[in-house]
Structure 1
């Protein structure tokens, strides 16, 4: 029975993105589990593709998970000018032009929920769930 519990814990740890671990006795100690959960690769970018066309915004109201200090890239194809607001601390604003292939890069330094909105369209593109 103990072995089944250890295998279940190891399987759960293996599916966490950016985490490298192996099944074994070192994962079973509380100290090892704590240090393993902190070793996340924050260098990998989180990318969100946004399309603004004919007054419609895609996507809207999605949830996106990221880590504190992880680069976030929002790629925008738009047929209208707008402003992209990132309601982080401090807040960040990007001018959207009516053109394809725009990229806006930023990081969020404070964990929590961060809305990313298009000001003129009045749409929330995503809510970022920023973890430590």
Structure 2
């Protein structure tokens, strides 16, 4: 039976390598299935010429559900996610930057741009 488990582990590693899984791939989270990708709550916004759009988007999520922030920006800033646990993401100039997080405690979660002093989203997280 030991050989069967070892063979299965080797086969799984070969499949993962063939699919291009890598610890350095920041767009995918380890262990996140295609279903989890489809179930993610997405908040898209843009920072351009000192303006943030939209401001204070409203979204609903469940505890543990992935939340993706997708940002197009022409300047640097920091995103602060006021949740449990808290998160901070560095925004750089560029398009399609994606930041993923989950929330473990229900409640209102504000996502703020630190330097722009704007709330880009409020996510109501339910049990």
**Is 2:53 aligned against 1:83?**
no
What is the distance in 2 between the residues matched to 1:46 and 1:105? 10
Structure ID, larger Rg: 1
Give the CA RMSD over aligned residues: 1.2
Match of 1:51 among 46, 49, 55: 46
**Structure 2: tracts of 5 or more residues without a match:** 1-34
Aligned residues: 91
**Contact map agreement 2:59 2:123 (CA 8 A) in 1:** yes
Match of 1:103 among 98, 105, 110: 98
Q: TM-score, normalised by structure 1?
A: 0.67
Tell me which protein shows more strand as a share of its residues: 2
Q: Which residue of 2 aligns with 1:38?
A: none
**Contact map agreement 2:67 2:101 (CA 8 A) in 1:** yes
Q: TM-score, normalised by structure 2?
A: 0.69
What is the distance in 2 between the residues matched to 1:48 and 1:129? 13
- How far off its partner does 1:90 sit? 2.0
Match of 2:66 among 60, 65, 71: 71
